[in-house]
Amino acid sequence: MSATKVEIRSGAYYDSVVLMQLQASLLGLSGVVDAGVVMGTAANKDLLEQSGLLPADAEVAKADDLVIVVKAEDDAGATSALDQVDELLTRRRSATEQEYLPQSVEAAAQMLPDARWALVSAPGRYAAGVARDALRAGKNVFLYSDNVSLDDEIALKKSAAEKGLLVIGPDCGTAIVNGVGLGFANRVRRGPIGLVAASGTGLQAVTTRIHRLGSGITHALGTGGRDLAESVGAVTARQGLDLLSRDAETQVIVLISKPPAPKVAHNLLRVARAVGKPVVVDFVGYAPPASQQGNIHFATTFDQAAKLAAELTSSASDEGPAADLDADRFAAGQRYLRGLFSGGTLAYEALLVLQEYVPAVYSNVPLDKDYRLEDPLVSQAHTVVDLGEDAFTVGRLHPMMDNELRIRRLRQEAADPEVAVILLDIVLGYGAHPDPAGELGPAIAEVRAQAEGAGRRLEVVAVVVGTDEDPQDFESQVEQLEAAGAHVETSNEAAARYAGRLVRARNTPSGLPPVDLAVLHDPLTAINVGLETFTESLRAQGAQVVQVDWKPPAGGNEQLMAILERMKS
């Protein structure tokens, strides 16, 4: 007659791979009919019950208890199997357990101070605490663990972003960083395509398809499935787009997700437009526009996304880094653009162009109502103002005839220490001011000199709209503006793009603090907390890694855990 016996070990922790191996070893013993080795969560006990492996004395097990159940042909066989558990666990220990293993992230960071990553696959209820420890130690986090609360995810990503760090996950199964696969990544060749994906299997499907098409991957960054929820706000996706936009080796970016929240999709596409590279977007189940939008190319399947990305690499050509524009000469705090237009349609076109360089531009005539200026007299962040609107022309001449208002606003914007670029239009012709550059030129020279005296560089970009037959003398207007130090264009689009390139170099498309590009380019070094198979796979790929001998803090006591966490913060 068969017999079922159980052993409950309180406070014992083994990763799920070790438990799987122990269960397989027990099943291999003579006389054993069935076995179950799980942590004592409610869901796991339900599964044991469905398998006929939940005797009454196992029902009292708590979530932190290790439950070992053996069903054997007789009572002696079940007893013998349980007696061999410790020996089987010892036999199954990986090579990492033969080394000295630190017992905390902090100790591991001292052993491997150059580690930029911490891989966390501890059980969900503890994973957020481990991730917080990693962020305190200045590590980017690959958070494989599931069952992490939404509140913890939001808090972790906010904290990471403030520190210029990444939290990839939670529930993130895969990523590729500098040729090294994290989690369940495939082996793919290096190449010019980078990915940001809120779908782990989607990332694998596209990267492997790109490989089979003969192209390759620079980096593939997972985000976790909830990253594009409205409550999370695509923090990791925005950081990933920003990193790949600054990565010189990445020519084309692929953005993958299950259907994002509509507001998040809208905002994320704004960021994608500003990265300065072709972006292939596959929001699975999302109805894309009928045609390409600027640098954004829409796909409806993973295969189509991979094919589009591979095709675009042969024709991808960014306008080039802003280094050739000497953008580094700006002071550290200078980052914003201010546009002061007399022509309403010119202002509108500038707004359309600039959305390819920065995610948001405020205006009194905005493309998106969310970016309408609260007060047209006061700029905020990047701003383009149509000074020909009614609010400015009541009781005064139109700015094409009277420069006084624009000169006042020019001085106001130039005095802002965060302003780097001012964009102007000068419209010539009959009825317009007889010599606009004669008044604007001295004002431009004045504000540039004042900025220089304050240790700042102020770039003034002007578009002159006119012909050599206009009464203002087109060449003379250009010469006066250039003599004042302005960069002059005769195309409104060219002027807006030049200004856009300058400010793009001073801003992250994500609107978040930049993550150091070294996280992608340095040889991958990591601290692993949880599944030892991740340590083994990293070492197999040539990465340096330290395995942490992790155990639940305070024996899993939630009150003590909360006290310990408060002491750390």
Residue 174, H or E segment: strand 174-177
| 319-366 residue pLDDT tens | 544 445 666 689 989 999 999 999 889 999 999 999 989 989 999 999
Q: How many CB atoms are located within 10 Å of the residue 438 CB?
A: 14
What residues pair up with 424 in beta bridges, in sequence order?
340, 462
Annotate 3-63 with three-state secondary structure.
Answer: EEEEEEECCCCCCHHHHHHHHHHHHCCCCEEEEEEEECCHHHHHHHHHCCCCCHHHCCCCC
| 426-475 residue pLDDT tens | 999 999 999 999 999 999 999 999 999 999 999 999 999 999 999 999 99
Of 93, 127, 150, which residue is a domain's last? 93
Give the pair of three-digit tokens for residue 224.
């976790």
Q: Are 167 and 236 in contact (CB under 8 A)?
A: yes
171 in the same domain as 155: yes
Q: Is 521 within a domain?
A: no
CATH number of the domain where residue 43 is located: 3.30.70
Q: Are 139 and 163 in contact (CB under 8 A)?
A: no
Q: Tell me the Ramachandran region of residue 409: left when phi exceeds 0, alpha when psi lies from -120 to 50, beta otherwise.
A: alpha
Cα separation of 303 and 308, whole Å?
9
Classify residue 34 as exposed, middle or buried by CB count within 10 Å of its CB (0-12, 13-18, 19+): middle
Q: Is 524 within a domain?
A: no
137 in the same domain as 113: yes
DSSP 491-536: -HHHHHHHHHHHHHTTS-TTSSPPPPTHHHHSPPEEEEES-HHHHH
What residues pair up with 195 in beta bridges, in sequence order?
220, 254
Of 65, 93, 121, which residue is a domain's last? 93
Q: At 443, is the secondary structure helix, strand, or coil?
A: helix
Of 50, 73, 93, which residue is a domain's last? 93
Q: Are 131 and 122 in contact (CB under 8 A)?
A: no
For 280, the domain range is 105-318+549-560
204 in the same domain as 175: yes
Residue 103, H or E segment: none
Give the pair of three-digit tokens for residue 334.
């200078």
341 in the same domain as 435: yes
Q: Are 164 and 516 in contact (CB under 8 A)?
A: yes
213 in the same domain as 114: yes
Q: Is 416 within a domain?
A: yes
182 in the same domain as 253: yes
Q: Is 120 within a domain?
A: yes
DSSP state of 346: H
Contacts 24+ apart (CB under 8 A), 283-292: 283/255, 283/256, 283/257, 283/258, 283/259, 284/199, 284/202, 284/256, 284/257, 284/258, 284/259, 285/258, 285/259, 286/259, 286/260
Q: Is 540 within a domain?
A: no
Cα separation of 192 and 313, whole Å?
7
Cα separation of 490 and 346, whole Å?
12
60 in the same domain as 154: no
Q: Is 511 within a domain?
A: no
What is residue 511's predicted lDDT score, i.e. its pLDDT? 83
Q: Given 3-state DSSP classes, what are the helix, strand and coil percentages for the chain, each rounded to the nearest 5?
A: 40, 20, 40
Sign, CA dihedral 367-373-377-380, equals: negative
Q: Are 121 and 150 in contact (CB under 8 A)?
A: no
Give the pair of three-digit tokens for residue 167.
């939290």
Q: Is 538 within a domain?
A: no
Q: At 452, is the secondary structure helix, strand, or coil?
A: helix
Give the pair of three-digit tokens for residue 41.
């969560």
268 in the same domain as 407: no
Q: Are 344 and 227 in contact (CB under 8 A)?
A: no
Sign, CA dihedral 552-554-559-562, equals: negative
CATH number of the domain where residue 143 is located: 3.40.50.261
300 in the same domain as 429: no
377 in the same domain as 251: no
329 in the same domain as 300: no
Number of domains in the chain: 3
137 in the same domain as 52: no
The tens-digit pLDDT sequence of the chain (569 residues) is 788 888 888 766 666 777 788 888 888 888 888 888 887 778 888 888 888 888 887 787 877 778 888 888 888 888 888 888 888 877 655 544 556 789 899 999 999 999 999 999 988 888 999 999 999 999 999 999 988 999 999 999 999 999 999 999 999 989 999 999 999 889 999 999 999 999 999 999 999 999 999 999 999 999 999 999 999 999 999 999 999 999 999 999 999 998 888 889 988 999 999 998 999 999 987 777 766 788 999 999 999 999 999 999 976 655 544 445 666 689 989 999 999 999 889 999 999 999 989 989 999 999 989 899 999 999 999 999 999 998 888 888 898 999 999 999 999 999 999 999 999 999 999 999 999 999 999 999 999 999 999 999 999 999 999 999 999 999 999 999 999 999 999 999 999 999 999 998 888 888 889 999 999 999 999 999 988 889 999 999 999 999 998 887 655 555 555 555 565 66
Classify residue 403 as exposed, middle or buried by CB count within 10 Å of its CB (0-12, 13-18, 19+): buried
Which of 165, 162, 114, 164 has its CA nearest to residue 143? Answer: 165
**List of residues 6+ apart from 341 with CB closer than 8 A:** 347, 350, 384, 385, 386, 387, 388, 423, 424, 425
Q: How many CB atoms are located within 10 Å of the residue 201 CB?
A: 12
Q: Is 517 within a domain?
A: no
